[in-house]
Amino acid sequence: MSPLKIVIADDHAAIRTSLRLLMDRDLDLDVIAEAADGLKAIEAVQTLQPDLLILDITMPERNGLEVLQYLRDEKHTLAIIILSNHREQIYIAAALRLGADAFVAKSAGFAALLQAIRIVRQRTPLYLPEYVTKNAGQDSIQGGSLEAEIMADFRQTRREWAEAS
């Protein structure tokens, strides 16, 4: 299997650099570009045609949900993993509804991101809305299909999602 071509979009240079360094250790992952804002993320996807976009929510120019919506509206078929500090269900629901393949909280750590990448790469018919819940004071990963549960509780409009970010 050829290496997975990845674009990392996050407004924090330290996050982008750290992810690149960690992923460079894995021969199956190839970070081909980084983007510091939403417009640069869209440009990188259109120009480089990566297999995967790792996308933060809070970014300048266009937030991650706007980038996700644009790419899905334009029928881009690349996998998109949202990697965010926002762990509230409204963000998870919005990301899933807009077509994210997975949602990983930054606090879940690199191992959770790698797990999401592996599942998304296999294109398992499982939404991986990885999210963090508080369990006895420690972050723990919860996986599985939460789409129906979240969709029933959060019926925000696109405008409301944009205002929340």
pLDDT at 41: 96
**Between 7 and 26, whose confidence is greater?**
7
pLDDT tens digits, one per residue of 98-121: 888 888 888 888 888 888 888 888
Query: How far, CA to CA in Å, does 110 sit from each of 19, 23, 43, 147, 165?
Result: 8, 9, 26, 23, 23
pLDDT tens digits, one per residue of 57-70: 999 999 999 999 99
Mean pLDDT (the chain) is 76
55 pLDDT higher than 70? yes
141 pLDDT higher than 60? no
pLDDT tens digits, one per residue of 15-41: 999 999 999 888 789 999 999 999 999
Stated pTM of the model: 0.74
Please name every residue paired with 134 in a beta bridge, in sequence order, or none if there are none: 139
pLDDT at 56: 94
d(CA 5, CA 114): 14
